[in-house]
Amino acid sequence: TGEKDLILDSEIKDGIIVEVNENLYANYITSIMIDINAALSFYESNGNYFLKPVLRVFPETFGGSLKGYALPLEAEPAVIIVKDKDTLFTIPEKSDGMFLFKGLKAGEWEIAVLSASSLGYRDTLFVDSVFVGKTRELKSKIVLKK
């Protein structure tokens, strides 16, 4: 209980440098996306809480996207997608269960929709494909069953 200060990790006190391995062109606007992995960016040590951001940085036009809906909201769903060594995690919108992953490599992704076991819902696991330059919208909403 109570409040604790969040301390910047000593490695980032002077800032963060990120590399974008992409060709950027003069007179052409390129948006750079910064995806912060909150689950891996905070840690506790000796009762203190530290921030050391874990980032995924990519041009907005990189790869493809995956969009869907995870329900029911009462299941408090979480979505994890995996391809090779890439593992991404999100919590769907609390209003409608929508989730969206951007900047994905093309190919098959394992998709897991999970709920806390104490809530009594069964997890769902399946595979779907992502294509470069396209948003793959899952055809049906993912509904976890009790």
Residue that finishes a domain, picked among 27, 44, 61: 61
Residue that finishes a domain, picked among 40, 61, 82: 61
Asked if 110 and 48 sit in the same domain, the reply is no
Would you give the end-to-end CA distance of the chain in angstroms? 33
51/67 Cα distance (integer angstroms): 29
Task: Report the candidate in 70, 61, 6 with the shortest Cα–Cα distance to residue 38.
Answer: 6
Asked if 77 and 127 sit in the same domain, the reply is yes
CATH code assigned at 74? 2.60.40.1120
Q: Which amino acid is at 111?
A: I
What proportion of the chain, given as a percentage, has pLDDT over 90?
66
Residue that finishes a domain, picked among 25, 42, 61: 61
What's the domain range around 125?
63-146
Asked if 54 and 95 sit in the same domain, the reply is no
Residue 22 and residue 60 in contact, taking contact as beta carbons nearer than 8 Å: no
Binned at pLDDT 50, 70 and 90, residue 1 comes out as low
Could you read off the pLDDT of 82-125 as tens digits, one per residue?
Answer: 999 999 999 999 999 999 999 999 999 999 999 999 999 999 99
